[in-house]
Amino acid sequence: MAVFKIMNHMGDETVLEYDRTDKAAVAKAMARFKEIVAEHYTAGTRPSTSGELTLKRHFDPNAEETVFIRPSVGG
């Protein structure tokens, strides 16, 4: 299994899981990745062994966890 964690402006997250071995699920996840990034979220992947995010501009079908961070707004 793999997971998308989509952070909102309050720091809460929406979690979407998909099966990395299911081609249809991966295709749906790739489409969803593109939609989220088009909404100006920043995407990063994090391996289970580290807490550090690696910036991703393209969908990584091998990522265990992808975190989407909402852009800052205000001034």
Instruction: Note down the domain range covering 63.
Output: 2-69
- 35 is a domain residue: yes
Residue 74, in any domain of the structure:
no
Can you give the CATH number for the domain in which 18 is found? 3.10.20
- Lowest-confidence range among 5-9, 58-62, 64-68? 5-9
Residue 46 domain-assigned? yes
User: Is 75 part of a structural domain of the chain?
Assistant: no
- Angstrom distances, CA of residue 75 to CA of 9, 11, 72: 15, 18, 9
Report pLDDT digits (tens) over 22-34: 999 999 999 999 9
Task: Report how many domains make up the chain.
Answer: 1
For the stretch 1-49, pLDDT in tens is 999 999 988 778 899 999 999 999 999 999 999 999 999 999 999 877 6
Flag whether 14 is in a domain: yes
Whether 7 is in a domain gets the answer: yes
Residue 37 resides in a domain: yes
pTM tops 0.85:
yes
For residue 26, give both structure tokens.
């991966």
